[in-house]
Amino acid sequence: MQFLVEELKPFIDARYPTLSDSAHTLVMGSSMGGLISLYALIEYPDVFGGAGCLSTHWPIGEEVLVDALGTALPSAGRHRLYFDFGTETLDANYEPWQQRMDEWLRTASYREGRDWSTRKFEGAEHSERAWRERVPIPLAFLLG
């Protein structure tokens, strides 16, 4: 995260015509990348205005991880969070953990459909192909 925030982002912002404020700076990943995307938003809430977390691999830390991230969420109203999961392969195990995170979001006053969205994709597996097929959905939500 430190490299991303202190080296890569400043390098890109200095060389390309970006909108560098947090409202226009998003991070997104799948599986463990979904976890690190949420962590990036929590650790650098003034840098990242949104995080896309596809097929977030919650089981790696179970309730301890979900609760730690849930209690550390930045204040609602300035950030957008997108979560999703499928129902096949590894994703078949994610729903209870995602529901737990959804409760943390509600507790933190995130408004479903406005500040945050969680989507379930029946039949979708834990794969790059599945994420590629649905990537327009989180992008539309986060950029909307």
What is the C-alpha separation between 34 and 118, in angstroms, rounded? 13
Domain boundaries, the chain: 21-143
Cα angle, residue 73 at apex, residues 41 and 97 outer, rounded to 5°:
100
| Residue from 56, 141, 69, 65 nearest 108 by CA | 69
What is the C-alpha separation between 44 and 81, in angstroms, rounded? 14
pLDDT of residue 132: 97
Residue-wise pLDDT for 72-105, tens only, equals: 999 999 999 999 999 999 999 999 999 999 999 9
- Residue 73, token pair as written in the block: 């969420």
**Contacts of 14-23 spanning 24+ positions with Cβ under 8 A:** 21/49, 22/46, 22/47, 22/48, 22/49, 22/78, 23/49
Residue-wise pLDDT for 105-120, tens only, equals: 999 999 999 999 999 9
Residue 7 confidence class, pLDDT cut points 50, 70, 90: very high
Q: 21-143: what CATH class?
A: alpha beta
Element of type H or E holding 54 = strand 50-54
Residue-wise pLDDT for 43-67, tens only, equals: 999 999 999 999 999 999 999 999 9
pTM of the model: 0.96
Other residues' Cβ atoms within 10 Å of the Cβ of residue 120: 14
Q: Is the pLDDT assigned to residue 126 strictly greater than 90?
A: yes
Q: Is the pLDDT assigned to residue 144 strictly greater than 90?
A: no
- Residue 114, token pair as written in the block: 């406005």
What is the C-alpha separation between 117 and 21, in angstroms, rounded? 22
* Helix, strand or coil, per DSSP, at residue 113: coil
Q: Is the pLDDT assigned to residue 127 strictly greater than 90?
A: yes
